[in-house]
Amino acid sequence: MPEKKIKVLVAKPGLDGHDRGAKVIARGLKEAGMEVVYTGLRQTPEQIVRAAIQEDVDVIGLSILSGAHNQLFPDIMDLLAEKGADDILVIAGGIIPEEDHDFLHDIGIKAIFKPGTPIKKIVEYIKQECQR
């Protein structure tokens, strides 16, 4: 029966070519009852934001291992704001050094998950945030 599901976009911005982690997360979220849109590798900020809007997702999960997060994430957040879609919860994971966390939180990334974070923790976080 149709009922409200949490919809998540798992996105890989930039030229990062490794998506095993993203796929593991995507599967984990699906097993937790969420509807997960995965758009594949090498997404531009424009592609990510457009997909998020068309799919009307509740959450965007950015997965990045290339170190380009300080360049790419602000572009994504700016574009979301420009399109009036900054009410979407944005979280991130991958290789993101601690010293960059403050900056990323400032631009609106609500949570950053280290590699190896149990899926359960991410699921619980999302469910809690989406309750509001």
Partner 1 sequence: MKELISRLKEGEERALARAISLVENQRFRGIELMKKIYPGLELPYLVGITGPPGAGKSSLSQEIVKEWLKKNDKVGIIAIDPSSRYSGGALLGDRIRMGEIARNPGVFIRSMATRGVLGGLNPTIFDTVLLMAVAGYEYILIETVGVGQNEIDVVDLADTTLVVTVPEAGDEIQTYKAGLMEIGNIFIVNKADRPGVSKMELVLKQMLKLQKSDGEWTPPVLKTVAVAGKGIDEVVKYCFEHYNYLQKKGLWQEKRRRFLRQHLINLLEEGFRRRFIQPLSRSEDFTSKLDNISNFKDDPYTVAEKYLEKTGIAVDEERGWQER
Structure tokens at 95: 């290789």
CB of residue 53 to partner 1, shortest distance in Å = 5
Going through the chain in order, the beta strands assigned E by DSSP cover: 7-11, 35-38, 59-64, 89-94, 111-113
Beta bridge partners of 60: 9, 90
For residues 18 and 50, which CB has a smaller minimum distance to partner 1 in the complex?
50
Binding interface with partner 1 (CB under 8 A): 1-5, 26-27, 29-40, 46-47, 50-51, 53-56, 83-85
For residues 34 and 96, which CB has a smaller minimum distance to partner 1 in the complex?
34
Torsion angles phi and psi, residue 107, rounded to 5:
-85, 0
CB of residue 72 to partner 1, shortest distance in Å = 17
Residues recorded for the chain: 132
CB of residue 39 to partner 1, shortest distance in Å = 5
